[in-house]
Structure 1
């Protein structure tokens, strides 16, 4: 007798022991003969009444491809098939001969009852129900659905509402589950008038043996699909769970149907894709031929959720569609042998374009050579970059690393889908946009004619925010999204989040053949977009609340900064353009770049910062003591190496500014001079290291005056920090005295006070360090008054002085500390204003991006509503056009109601934000006025 193979513990099938060969048989003429001995592999739960249902004419050869060959009862009607045939051969045969028939059966499951009589009590009823969980197709009245489900509370009934089958719950129909008395009602509780309690029940079923060879209900296939996509688990794990539930402890008693489950699931996905794309219906003018993809509902799609003619010229920049491109090197397919006749059921119909055309085109392309070496040496599937959905046609494979032609093809393929009903401006973020945009115009001329980009395409590029950190400053100025207008708070990192999801499927996709892998990726992308779609009401509402708060906060910060700056200077800045400009030296500049100091100013500023770093390192060495731990020693050594490198870079420029003055001529050696070779005790050779006569003789008086200005600015900053820290310390001490009780709380509060004291001491050192340098360079008359020595008595908060000293005894001798009455000026020096210029521009751009974010969110909310309404009306149009069976009409109306329900739920969530006048998008206001009111949507004519 033939012997079946079994699965190993790791999911692979064990090689069968030697014995008679396994022979596969095919039933002849299945579609025209009585299939009573073999049921269709895909069965709707409501169509499996094996006791009374008529023979199913949809059964075909696919049913028996994986049947148990030990069933010899049908030997008279079978012929042997060559064992060289693979599952791909059978899949191709099913697709050609039987797929349409299976789709017809799926549509028939949505057909109306065809009778007004209950199949149980045989009485006429205006309301008929069916159960999608029961393995019978019976139409029941209200009383009978409750009677037959008296002890089946987890079943899912549906009600016929004259158009479609609508999900209802047994609970709402009046079902009461009696847990005692063998399912009968308790007479005591009924007499006492006790109301039943509500109970939430969870249930999951496994395999059950019935008189068919094998069958997988659509409920099981739907559940499997959710687990392997949204749940990100493998199909084998799901199958193992079903085995455990079916027969705990004896899994070998369950016949191995894993291979059949996988084959059936692929076929079922094909049927689902056909259904969801409207296969068999009349073609609507907005339909994309053969497209099974679910597009983003919130992104601009001309002719679908907006028309360019509706948008004013001022608002049009907010209607640019942005996509992100990135490569994923973890979602790979192993280099395994491909079975003959490998077939894909979704290629060029969803998110992956035609792979053969793509492979041939990329193999023929030679990327243009660079004419010059790129200045930025940072390095290292397209999706939309705001709501992070997969873009149809934008999923391509890499064959030889990350070549730009792969991105070119994905960009063109996705744009062809997005712009099929009208022109669209486009934006793209890419980790290496600074390199990618070079020769882009030349490369796109070679694209296939079917996806060629228009020559006048308005394309804008940028670098994602998290990747921009590794680029040079010019990239930050030219390609930063923080400096790009009309993009809001978009960060451009959408693919990174998608990859995290997709990589969890790579264990399965890496083992699959090319066709099955493409089907899986398309399915994962569809379910990802579906999940985004149904949660868009929560997603956009939450983002709007956050954007509103941050806009007001950043606007207040910018307004505060405006108050401390000269009005004439601010007016001058407001008139400046932010467009980056390339100078004669080929370097890019912009008002958003860091202040461009003269060489001497920059060198002196870096020297002062180095002094602070050296002091911090000396403090850390002192804190660890003479015998630090190995970990502490390693940390100190790393900091010393880094500091030594910075000092070496600084010293390379010293001769340029200090001339022949190398060794300082101070009267005393710098502190710690005995620690020879340690970078934290190095003298930097700034002008303050020399006597004024020496500087004058060397012609460095102007350089010394420049350091004086910088030192004064550092003293002013330090004094302001001291004042703030003293106030914070006073508040913390007062809080401790009034509210802190107990040993633990007291210890924590004292630790915080010690931290405050350490911060005060560090800022005090910074002040005194710059004051000493200023003193060596030469005090002016005002310097003696503004920059005095800070004593311990001076380190008292203003509130403490007012409460403890100012109103105490000895008023004749009391005086406020000089740090609270210092006449040190604020931001009036030219160099300080120049430093704040960049921060003024950046703070303005911060609140502007949040302002744009609010406008973009209103645009996305309105587009989401319009997309749902458009799809609702399209499916309604399909239901009433063409000569279609009742089941197809009911399915179309069901889809129409689904999108209508999404639209009403989204409108309820969006309405408060769309009516918020903090920002105004006139395009949105106009559409809402014409299509909605307080009660909801106004009647919408069919598109």
Structure 2
């Protein structure tokens, strides 16, 4: 270990550093005495430096080149001297473009050294070889500790007026690399002002490379740098290095705080010269390449593939990903013989995967073609095979049969599409219960949310979870997707077009669901068929965890959209590994918490279920159980969970009555009016009644605003004219109206008193007349037609109330969770939206009340009363 002895003033002191219980050799040259005069304390500092040993490694033929130290740049910049220097602006752009190409070429060349770099990272974690480890001078024994903070200190020297920054090279320090204990007599001087970037700042040091042949690492300069914890910027003639602490600190900051590399790089430069008056070291291109390599090596190292006898190249797709240990994995955590279990027990080993698209993680089309360092090894699918499949994929545009208005359904083939984007978003496959991103479970989207992309990524994720390539058996699989009602419809037909090695679902039972929050936006047909609540074996899984991870990764999208395709994959893969790792660490406490909750709620829900069941007869219970059992086996059977659907709607009644009137005309029945038939007259009357209701409800509370008052009066005037036009035809079908008010009583009353508003005018539909007036004062058929319209109206209103209340509950939940307390503007807008939606519910309830009141007049003893109950204030 390096020994520092401080003398001066008759006292001595020791400097403490953080230590780690693992041996590591020192990094300095043979014993040298350096004296630095300090005018303020009049002390002398004596530093005794012990050299760093080195171990076996590769021999680099290029390492024999002599460093002249005249160029302060790395090896790849030497090639730039051959690039034609253009003086024009276009020429400058061409030079920059060529420079980037050379950088990417250097990254590609690095792949040949990847194996040895990974071996050095593994070696750095160990104590090194025992025969060359640093020893204690008193007991001649190998040390069991190493200092993590040694070297890299920032120095200041007194110049007679103030302390000024000085470098380690300025005081004559030389760092001996790649040599065991003792002096190396055949060392070779490294480049002048060798640059080392550390968390403490930028340092210029003098380095000596071992050339005596005794270095176990050979003459390879990169290996000698890696042995001391310095990561070389290039593989040939490096002139810049980054300490492991520098790279690891950024790695932690970006994974935790989503810090981008440029801000970190500039912040470290400012630690050296915050004012910026001195010429700053420019190593942005180098650090960009090194960080990519660092991410890649860390992922391979942590997955254990550095110990693979076949080497890194033998890494299989998805093998570096952190997998969910709680999900079923054949051959790992499933009992022997699980494949032969009956269907009543197989649900215990069912895997539920959730799919969803995120359109925040876009990529600009900038023409970058950077190399993939480990395509398909983590969470993104293998890019080569993925693009080959998309190139031959057929157009799978399908007609939506869902009643929802979700963007994911309506814009499945267009969302996010733009000419300036090469990637519009990603499709992700995750564990629905524990929210782990599955290996090979991420794929880029090029145009909306096309099913060909989704199919390939889903199958890739399931394939990567297998232990062997020939393994066919997988647990029962449940798919959760917000548009599964459309996606799953022709899923197995599309599988016929998939490559043969992707067809892995033969004979595997599958089921599909829609996440619990998303299903509220679907139509009634989806609420039972695709609901988690009515599916056996899924417990209380809601599958909305798939949205949680998007909030975590979405913050990275601002920086990744500017990157090259491969660099973007590397960054996103890195963040997903961290997400999965944190999930893995917290999984124990998470499962214990939910187990305690499940045990508590099991007892409570059992009591509630038994109490509710006791209110029905045993015959009814048995009938329902039989319906549920049949429906579980065959979804074409009657759905026991479906709400009763209205059999007649306003539009259907209107069409049916129009068809009946055509038949009546063919049989020679006369038409009383040449423009309006009886059904059209009644329908227009109901539409006028609806407009009156809207004015009554929406017109409240606006009298203080002159503009709103004027708008309201204009609507009233228009409605009055329409009522007058409709009432002019009314005596034809309802002669009794003439005896009630006279021929023009309605128009005269509207013009005589300005206090009578349009919404207060009586329409005198048959349901508003007394029984005697209906019998003698209305034409044949008008009462029956209003009755049919009213039945459709009350059914429509009740279903609308159910639908609107579900949406309203979702709006309130969104407001409380996402918007409340986020600012006055957002709160005001949300409250206005909720108020407007509540007004729509109030209007629908009023329509239900009026329709039911009319039915009580037209058919007071009908069977409809058992279904359409009175809507009380507490029911809303």
TM range (shorter): 0.5 to 0.7
- The aligned counterpart of 1:690 is 769
- Matching of residue 344 in structure 1 with residue 360 in structure 2: no
Residues 879-918 of structure 1 aligned to structure 2 (within 5 Å): none
Residues 278-293 of structure 1 aligned to structure 2 (within 5 Å): 278-281=304-307, 289=316, 291-293=319-321
- Matching of residue 390 in structure 1 with residue 406 in structure 2: no
- The aligned counterpart of 1:444 is 495
CA distance in 1, matches of 2:267, 2:554: 23
CA shift, 1:444, in A, is: 0.9
- The aligned counterpart of 2:52 is 53
Unaligned 5+ segments in structure 1 are: 1-43, 137-202, 715-760, 781-826, 840-943
- Matching of residue 302 in structure 1 with residue 333 in structure 2: no
Q: For the structure 1 residues 373 and 407, does the alpha-carbon distance in structure 2 shift closer, same or farther, using more than 3 Å as the test?
A: closer
Match of 1:88 among 96, 104, 108: 104
CA distance in 1, matches of 2:79, 2:253: 37
For the 8 Å contact 1:474–1:589, the answer to whether it is kept is no
Q: Deviations over 1:429-483 (max 9, x none)?
A: 2232222223322211222233222322322222333443443322223223333
Residues 91-170 of structure 1 aligned to structure 2 (within 5 Å): 91-96=107-112, 98-112=113-127, 114=130, 119=135, 122-123=138-139, 128-135=144-151
- Matching of residue 594 in structure 1 with residue 643 in structure 2: yes
- Matching of residue 220 in structure 1 with residue 246 in structure 2: yes
CA distance in 2, matches of 1:834, 1:103: 75
- The aligned counterpart of 2:232 is none
CA distance in 2, matches of 1:533, 1:72: 48
Q: For the structure 1 residues 298 and 640, does the alpha-carbon distance in structure 2 shift closer, same or farther, using more than 3 Å as the test?
A: farther
CA shift, 1:405, in A, is: 1.0
Q: For the structure 1 residues 73 and 549, does the alpha-carbon distance in structure 2 shift closer, same or farther, using more than 3 Å as the test?
A: closer
More moved, 67-76 vs 541-550? 67-76
Q: For the structure 1 residues 117 and 397, does the alpha-carbon distance in structure 2 shift closer, same or farther, using more than 3 Å as the test?
A: closer
Task: Pick 1 or 2: higher relative contact order, CA cutoff 8 A, min separation 6.
Answer: 1
CA shift, 1:410, in A, is: 0.6
CA distance in 1, matches of 2:377, 2:329: 18
- Matching of residue 427 in structure 1 with residue 458 in structure 2: no
- The aligned counterpart of 2:528 is 477
CA distance in 2, matches of 1:205, 1:666: 100
CA distance in 1, matches of 2:615, 2:737: 39
CA distance in 2, matches of 1:330, 1:298: 29
Give the structure-1-normalised TM-score: 0.53
For the 8 Å contact 1:582–1:589, the answer to whether it is kept is no
Q: Deviations over 1:743-783 (max 9, x none)?
A: xxxxxxxxxxxxxxxxxx99x99999899879867999xxx
- The aligned counterpart of 2:457 is 410
Q: For the structure 1 residues 45 and 264, does the alpha-carbon distance in structure 2 shift closer, same or farther, using more than 3 Å as the test?
A: farther
For residue 623 of structure 1, give the secondary structure of its aligned residue in structure 2. coil
Match of 1:357 among 355, 378, 385: 385
- The aligned counterpart of 2:345 is 315
CA shift, 1:414, in A, is: 0.8
Q: For the structure 1 residues 611 and 219, does the alpha-carbon distance in structure 2 shift closer, same or farther, using more than 3 Å as the test?
A: farther
CA distance in 2, matches of 1:693, 1:561: 48
- The aligned counterpart of 1:800 is none
Q: For the structure 1 residues 75 and 446, does the alpha-carbon distance in structure 2 shift closer, same or farther, using more than 3 Å as the test?
A: closer
- The aligned counterpart of 1:512 is 563
CA distance in 1, matches of 2:363, 2:205: 39
- The aligned counterpart of 2:410 is 379
CA distance in 2, matches of 1:463, 1:234: 36
Residues 461-476 of structure 1 aligned to structure 2 (within 5 Å): 461-476=512-527
Match of 1:241 among 267, 283, 288: 267
- The aligned counterpart of 1:843 is none
For the 8 Å contact 1:664–1:690, the answer to whether it is kept is no
Q: Deviations over 1:864-920 (max 9, x none)?
A: xxxxxxxxxxxxxxxxxxxxxxxxxxxxxxxxxxxxxxxxxxxxxxxxxxxxxxxxx
CA distance in 1, matches of 2:758, 2:244: 73
CA shift, 1:298, in A, is: 2.3
CA shift, 1:356, in A, is: 1.7
CA shift, 1:404, in A, is: 1.1
Q: Deviations over 1:835-877 (max 9, x none)?
A: 9xxx9xxxxxxxxxxxxxxxxxxxxxxxxxxxxxxxxxxxxxx
For the 8 Å contact 2:430–2:546, the answer to whether it is kept is yes
Residues 627-666 of structure 1 aligned to structure 2 (within 5 Å): 627=705
CA shift, 1:508, in A, is: 2.5
CA distance in 2, matches of 1:87, 1:455: 46
For residue 383 of structure 1, give the secondary structure of its aligned residue in structure 2. strand
CA shift, 1:344, in A, is: 0.9
User: Which protein is richer in strand relative to its size?
Assistant: 2
CA distance in 2, matches of 1:553, 1:625: 53
For the 8 Å contact 2:438–2:461, the answer to whether it is kept is yes
CA distance in 2, matches of 1:520, 1:128: 36
Unaligned 5+ segments in structure 2 are: 1-21, 30-50, 84-97, 153-197, 208-238, 412-427, 654-682, 798-841
For the 8 Å contact 1:323–1:383, the answer to whether it is kept is yes
CA shift, 1:221, in A, is: 1.6
Aligned length, in residue pairs:
610
For the 8 Å contact 1:58–1:101, the answer to whether it is kept is yes
CA distance in 1, matches of 2:772, 2:62: 102
Residues 807-818 of structure 1 aligned to structure 2 (within 5 Å): none
For residue 353 of structure 2, give the secondary structure of its aligned residue in structure 1. strand
Q: Deviations over 1:70-127 (max 9, x none)?
A: 6359999x9868656612222222221x222222222222334738999456348899
RMSD over aligned CA atoms reads 5.9
Q: For the structure 1 residues 134 and 369, does the alpha-carbon distance in structure 2 shift closer, same or farther, using more than 3 Å as the test?
A: closer
CA distance in 2, matches of 1:480, 1:101: 53
For residue 577 of structure 1, give the secondary structure of its aligned residue in structure 2. helix
Q: Deviations over 1:358-409 (max 9, x none)?
A: 1112111214575x77454742322222222211112222234332111111
For the 8 Å contact 1:207–1:246, the answer to whether it is kept is yes
Give the structure-2-normalised TM-score: 0.56
More moved, 589-598 vs 221-230? 589-598
CA shift, 1:357, in A, is: 1.6
- The aligned counterpart of 2:699 is 621
Q: For the structure 1 residues 351 and 75, does the alpha-carbon distance in structure 2 shift closer, same or farther, using more than 3 Å as the test?
A: closer
For the 8 Å contact 1:663–1:685, the answer to whether it is kept is no
CA shift, 1:296, in A, is: 1.9
For residue 243 of structure 1, give the secondary structure of its aligned residue in structure 2. helix
CA distance in 2, matches of 1:373, 1:431: 13
